[in-house]
Structure 1
Amino acid sequence: MPQRSDTRQRMVRSTVELLRERGATATTIDRVLADSGAPRGSVYHHFPGGRSQLVREAVATATVPMVTAIESAAENDNVVEAVEGLFAGWRVGVVEGDYRSGCPIVAAAVETNDDAPEIAESAGTAFGQWCDALAKLLQNFGISVERSRVLAFTIIGAQEGALVLSRAMRSTEPLDAVRDEISKLLANAVGETENVPEHHGDDKSE
């Protein structure tokens, strides 16, 4: 049997990388075709929704590795070490990308396009999945549901901001600084949980 064409996958991968390095506005169909080597006719064959569909599928594709990394981090016995492991991955990514590679989800989130609001919506969905996975990870270490959600927003927001600073300054210092502060925050959160006295419903005051 003939091998199935990987044109569609190549186009999605190229879109992810272009979003990382150039941002959403500069990620045009022409650039995707040039980067992926796909023939022009393949665009509407594989992506009848055009650029909007292509970017949305790239965002969905880029979401998966992060969720997988967060779920894998849950195997760690220490919440601080688990989250520091995530930061280590982000650090490697920015350094190996020579401070040019950012987050494709952010690129989609900040695009202003009244004709395709679904692009920003797809970014919101992606960040929601990241935060849900991270909140679940934190809950595994005894942190409450409410607190875990707030911490998840804090970690993702701080990490993405630090990544922007690291790229602009061509230094991992912002990312490292945020990692250290998040580690302290998590250590305190776990400590607060461990120090909560047990409540026995049947106990009565004398």
Structure 2
Amino acid sequence: MSPRKGGSRDRMVLSAALLLREYGASATSIDRVLGHSGAPRGSVYYHFPGGRAQLIDEAVAFAGDFIGGLIENMMQGDDPVEAIDAFFSMWREQLVESEFRAGCPIVAVAVESNDEAPQLARSTAAVFGRWQEALAAKFVRHGLPEERGKRLAAFVVAAVEGAVIMCRAEQSAAPLEAAAAEIHDLLTYALRGLPDTGPAQRP
């Protein structure tokens, strides 16, 4: 999907999400979004009467739904371990292709203080919560107790996000690869080591 296709509102939301990945929330200004999206200046307050805070908030929701959809699609397979491996691979590909410039737009907003727009912290927390729910539901369906499934889901999201930040700092995929290997082993033990209750089990 290109930021220059579709209506000006959609282009601006997409551009804001893409810019957040590379530059963070503070540097994702209205002017930068307009330049990236090609939207007319007059459309800003027509589409976003709440100004920049509303635009960033909607970009968070858009990015959260997009990544959440990828997670849900990956979780449709029989093996949750393979699904998590694919999730890490997706992030590695994004980092490498962007030469370690593009991180997670949700983290970009979450790590900055948003005293003037406290709804942004709530929005990022809600996105992380939805991702964790999708992962936990899969783990529980494959035999884990609900509480353990929730803890593992939170750990996977935290490991991915932390590793992505480290990769950008180090300009290397090594932290993500290390996290992926450890999570793989942990989930293999937790899920495939259970009694045979589902398609993810291995003899």
State if a TM-score over 0.5 links the two structures.
Answer: yes
Q: Hey, what does 2:66 align to over in structure 1?
A: 65
Residue 136 of structure 1: CA displacement? 1.0
TM-score, structure 2 length as denominator?
0.90
Matched residue of 1:133: which SS? helix
Q: Match of 2:201?
A: none
Moved more, 75-84 or 115-124: 75-84
Alignment of 1:52-201 (within 5 A): 52-191=53-192, 193-194=194-195
Distance 1:139 1:73 in 2: 16
Q: What secondary structure sits across from 2:114 in the alignment? A: coil
Residue 191 of structure 1 deviates from its aligned partner by 4.5
Alpha-carbon separation, structure 2, partners of 1:165 and 1:147: 27
Larger radius of gyration: 1
Contact 2:139 2:191 in 1 (8 A): no
CA distance in 1: counterparts of 2:75 and 2:119, whole angstroms:
32
- Write the distance in 2 (CA, Å) between the matches of 1:72 and 1:108: 25
Preserved contact between residue 74 and residue 140 of structure 1 (Cα < 8 Å): no
Match of 2:7 in 1: 6
- Aligned equivalents of 1:195 and 1:42: distance in 2? 57
- Once structures 1 and 2 are overlaid, which stretch shifts more, 117-126 or 63-72? 63-72
State whether residues 13 and 58 of structure 2, in contact with CA within 8 Å, keep that contact through their aligned partners in structure 1: yes
User: 2-side partners of 1:150 and 1:49: how far apart?
Assistant: 36
User: Following TM superposition, by how much is the alpha carbon of 1:133 offset from its aligned partner in structure 2, in angstroms?
Assistant: 0.9
Unaligned runs of 5+ in 1: 197-206
SS in 2 for 1:142: coil
After TM superposition, the structure 1 stretch with the greater mean CA deviation from structure 2, 134-143 or 44-53, is 134-143
Amino acid at match of 1:151: L
Aligned length: 193
Tell me if structure 1 keeps the 8 A contact 2:75–2:135. no
Q: Which moved more, 1:74-83 or 1:9-18?
A: 74-83
Instruction: Check the 8 A contact 2:16/2:56 in 1, yes or no.
Output: yes
SS in 1 for 2:41: coil
Instruction: Give unmatched runs, 5+ long, in structure 2.
Output: 198-203
Within 1, Cα distance between the matches of 2:161 and 2:105? Answer: 11
TM-score, normalised relative to structure 1: 0.89
Q: What is the Cα deviation at residue 23 of structure 1?
A: 0.2
Task: Specify the code of the residue in structure 1 equivalent to 2:97.
Answer: E
